[in-house]
Amino acid sequence: MEERSLQEIYGPNTVCFGCGPGNPRGLHVRSFPDGDESCVCRWTPEPHHHAFPGVLNGGICGAVLDCHSNWTAAWVLMRRSGSLVPPCTVTADFAVALRRPTPMGVELFVRGRVVSAEADRAVIEAFIEVGGRTTATCRGLFVAVKEGHPAYHRWA
């Protein structure tokens, strides 16, 4: 049996376009812990994700990086607090750099790692790599939301 991702364990019914297992038309980004401070993902684009023939759309690159980074932040904050469940985190700010065309028809390797973290927020850096070459990078701030925020308990 295949290992379950953070999304499948902690948010199996979420409908986020990028990472929600409950969204039948989403990207289904699946993040896996790689130690206490980072997460990894392998994701393969589909033909309808093209920007132009042979190249992945930059917005899709951003969505993959955003969602994977968000789950990396949730994982890190959960581990650091000693909680049994991750906090509901959202993207407060993120920037993507498209370094070179990201090819279609191949599996992408994505890694997110914590740069800094406080009790309710984490700065994450992430990248997409294909064949040992980085095609896109991201740096973002992800914050845990409180009761009253629309995303609060969205993973339940």
pLDDT in tens, 69-86: 999 999 999 999 999 999
Token duo for residue 11: 């948010």
Query: What's the mean per-residue pLDDT of the chain?
Result: 95
Question: Does residue 155 register a pLDDT over 80?
Answer: no
For residue 1, name the pLDDT band (cuts at 50, 70, 90): very low
pTM assigned to the model = 0.96
CB-based burial, 68-88: b 16+ in 10 Å, e otherwise: bbbbbbbbbbbbeeeeeebbb
- Average pLDDT of the segment spanning 118-139: 98
Q: For residues 153 and 92, give the distance between their C-alpha atoms in angstroms, rounded to a whole number.
A: 17
Residues 44-63: tens digit of each pLDDT: 999 999 999 999 999 999 99
Contact at 8 Å (CB) between 56 and 27?
no
- Under 8 Å CB-to-CB from 32, ≥6 apart: which residues? 3, 5, 6, 39, 40, 41
Nearest partner of 19 among 63, 57, 61, 78, judged by Cα:
63
Residue 156 has pLDDT above 70, yes or no: no
> Is residue 104 predicted with pLDDT exceeding 70?
yes
Contact, 28 vs 22, CB < 8 A?
no
For the chain, percent of residues with pLDDT exceeding 90: 92
Q: Residue with structure tokens 């070459």?
A: 133
